A = this chain, B = another copy of it.
């Protein structure tokens, strides 16, 4: 089995030294009473304990037994119930919830760190509290006061859980063509009918009720995605006292057999005249759901990073322990730890440098969301919006690569189940696919986040980074400036192209921007070392890893630049029978 110890030192370095969020929290009236550095550390340490003790040792079991469907009921791995109970008893499910409804009101930057740990411990398990937290965000923003009062406290407490029901068999990335219908009835509610697939946590035995957020079409719905509305459909309709009452017309038809995240019940749900309540305006459901989707997309990044962190820790331990071959040893019968081999170092450092930049990046995006929320700062909101598809796509692509690389460090032992490395690869793979495939993320980034405002938000960000580099030109600033300049030229070139060219280049473009911004993350890490309270123990470690990033990883961006500079017109010359 693979082990895991929460990287609290690097988490605190990011929160308090790189982004100095403790200082920010103290400046906010809504936060200053709630949290300071010591509280945050205590929270993180407690979360780490639950992950390390109640989930990590059993994640292999969860993979083996998985979620089981029998007679319309889904049973989860036994230890999930115990771990979930610890989460609810400790108030963890309410960590980022609104205090008005019983939430702890902690900033996103903190809850995202807990997310990372949970994902390291068990991605499949993390989805149960994760989906609920996402559903709460959508309800908080779009539901009316009655619904909020009825549902949020029980969902924050973890007594009830949530889902998001979007996909249908013929409608995945393209939700506009969905067929689930909602028929208004006299009491102001609706009756929903249709079938949804790939519903994570759609049915399970952790909570006494499940609150489904369902996209469906009203009878007078306009065509396409502008005709979708959002409904709340409880598994059990709350009775007069707000407790689970009558069973609603939603049932699980089957669960998927998947490559990984076997502990997660991925359900086909049938809605048969299921009673539902409209959330937000009619036909505006997709916009409401995107509130939740954006939240989830950040969590996807945590899945990539979480799995990659666990993969790294295990590959590192193996590389220190496993002896094969000789680097300095002269006795042909003796072998040295494989961490001495240059190629093993290369693999480990590739993971390490990307993971640490990823953690800084995740903290950055989360802090922007916090600033958007607490300061009502529109620049922060726009930037968080810009960076969300990167957090989803690049962090999950890197997470997958990291797990594959860590598995490679184990040689043949990485391929057998016993060591747990292959499970990390199988589990994390889904993060590149769900919540909008990484291809969809790239299109969103290129077309809606960059091209739609003619590059304004991105170019302003790059300009601000250049100023920061000029003011504080520490080592590596010049390398970064070079890539920023190349990225600016390339961005302007792409902005002058049509939609088709932009779409063809979207994926490589997102990756290029990500590599450059990860360079900025390493700059921020280096800058933080100079004034850090926490850094003394790893100044050299961070400095070397930054150099590794700038000399052995960032130059890969030259390949992306070269591809992006070439014509993409050839792609459309292919007729169907040319493929």
User: Quick check: B544 and A426 within 8 Å, CB to CB?
Assistant: no
A541 on the interface (CB 8 Å rule)? Answer: yes
Query: Which residue in B224, B547, B558 is a CB contact (below 8 Å) of A559?
Result: B558
| Chain B contacts for A258, CB-based, 8 A | 415-417, 422
The answer for the CA separation of A415 and B339 in the assembled complex, in Å, is 34
Minimum C-beta distance from A64 to chain B (A): 9
Chain B residues within 8 Å of A560, by CB: 556, 559
Could you show 6 A-B contacts with beta carbons less than 8 Å apart?
A224-B333, A346-B571, A349-B579, A552-B570, A555-B562, A557-B562
Of B257, B320, B429, the contact of A425 (CB 8 Å cutoff): B429
Interface residues of A (CB under 8 A from B): 167, 170-174, 176-177, 197-198, 222-226, 256-260, 266, 316, 320, 323-325, 331-335, 339, 341-349, 352, 400, 404, 407-408, 411-412, 414-418, 422, 425-426, 429-430, 432-434, 437-439, 442-443, 500, 503-504, 506-507, 538, 540-541, 544-545, 547-548, 551-553, 555-563, 565-568, 570-574, 576-579
Which 9 A-B pairs have CB atoms at the shortest separation, nearest pair first? A559-B559, A224-B332, A555-B562, A259-B422, A174-B324, A342-B503, A556-B559, A558-B562, A342-B504
Inter-chain CA distance A506–B339, complex, in Å, is 16
Is B415 a contact partner of A430 (Cβ separation < 8 A)? yes
Query: A404 to chain B: which residues have CB within 8 Å?
Result: 400, 429
* Interchain nearest-CB distance for A166 vs B (Å): 11
**Overall SS of chain A's interface:** helix
- Chain B residue nearest in CB terms to A349: B571
A325 neighbours in B (Cβ, 8 Å): 173-174
Contact A412 B172 (CB under 8 A): yes
A553 CA / B568 CA spacing, docked (Å)? 11
B342 touches A500 (CB 8 A): yes
Interfacial chain B residues near A566, Cβ < 8 Å: 551-552, 555
A324/B225 contact (C-beta < 8 A), A417-B258, A442-B343, A504-B346 known = no
Determine how close the nearest CB of chain B comes to the CB of A217; give it in whole angstroms.
Answer: 10
Among residues of B, the one whose C-beta sits closest to the C-beta of A319 is: B579
Interface hub of A407, A414, A442, A555 (most chain B Cβ within 10 A): A555
CA distance A225 to B331 in the complex (A): 11
Report whether A570 and B557 are in contact in the complex, using a CB–CB cutoff of 8 Å.
no
B425 touches A411 (CB 8 A): no
A416 with B571: CB separation less than 8 A: no
In the assembled complex, the Cα of A173 lies from the Cα of B414 at a distance in Å of 14
Q: Are A426 and B551 in contact (CB under 8 A)?
A: no
- Residues of B within 8 Å of A197, CB to CB, are 412
- Contacts of A316 on B, CB cut-off 8 Å? 579
| Chain B contacts for A433, CB-based, 8 A | 408, 411-412, 414-415
CA of A323 to CA of B171 in the docked complex: distance in angstroms?
9
Tell whether, in the assembled complex, residue B562 and residue A547 are in contact, meaning their CB atoms are under 8 Å apart: no
**Which B residues are in CB contact (< 8 Å) with A547?**
570
Q: Are A571 and B345 in contact (CB-based, < 8 A)? A: yes
Contact present for A173 and B324 (CB under 8 Å): yes
Do the beta carbons of A437 and B425 come within 8 Å of each other?
A: no
CB distance from A331 to the nearest CB of B (A): 7
Most chain B CB within 10 A, of A567, A568, A570, is at A570
Most buried by B among A256, A545, A579: A579
Complex alpha-carbon distance, A352 and B197, angstroms: 31
Q: Which residue in chain B gives the minimum CB-CB distance to A566?
A: B551
- Minimal Cβ-Cβ distance residue in B for A542: B578
The answer to whether B177 and A334 touch across the interface, beta carbons within 8 angstroms, is yes
Nearest CB in chain B: distance from A487 CB, A: 14
Q: 18 more A-B contacts (CB under 8 A) besides A172-B412, A558-B559? A: A172-B324, A174-B335, A257-B416, A259-B415, A259-B426, A343-B442, A343-B503, A345-B574, A349-B574, A400-B404, A425-B429, A548-B570, A548-B571, A553-B563, A556-B560, A557-B562, A558-B561, A559-B562
- Tell me which residues across on chain B come within 8 A of A562, comparing CB atoms: 555-559
With both chains docked as a complex, state the minimum distance between the C-beta of A578 and any C-beta of chain B, in angstroms: 4
Instruction: Choose among A167, A257, A320, A538 the residue with the greatest number of B CB atoms under 10 Å from its CB.
Output: A257
Contact of A332 (CB < 8 Å), options: B226, B425, B551, B556 = B226
Query: Which of A224, A346, A414, A425 has the most chain B CB atoms closer than 10 A to its own CB?
Result: A346
CB atoms of B556 and A339 under 8 A apart? no
Q: Distance in Å from the Cβ of A296 to the closest Cβ of chain B?
A: 14
In the bound assembly, the distance between CA atoms of A345 and B437 in angstroms comes to: 15
Question: Is B548 within 8 A of A552, CB to CB?
Answer: no
A198 to B416: give the CA distance in the assembly, Å: 10
Closest residue of B by beta carbon distance from A348: B579
A224 proximity list for chain B (CB < 8 A): 332-333
Distance in Å: Cβ of A79 to nearest Cβ of chain B? 21
- Cβ–Cβ contact A352 & B579, under 8 A: yes
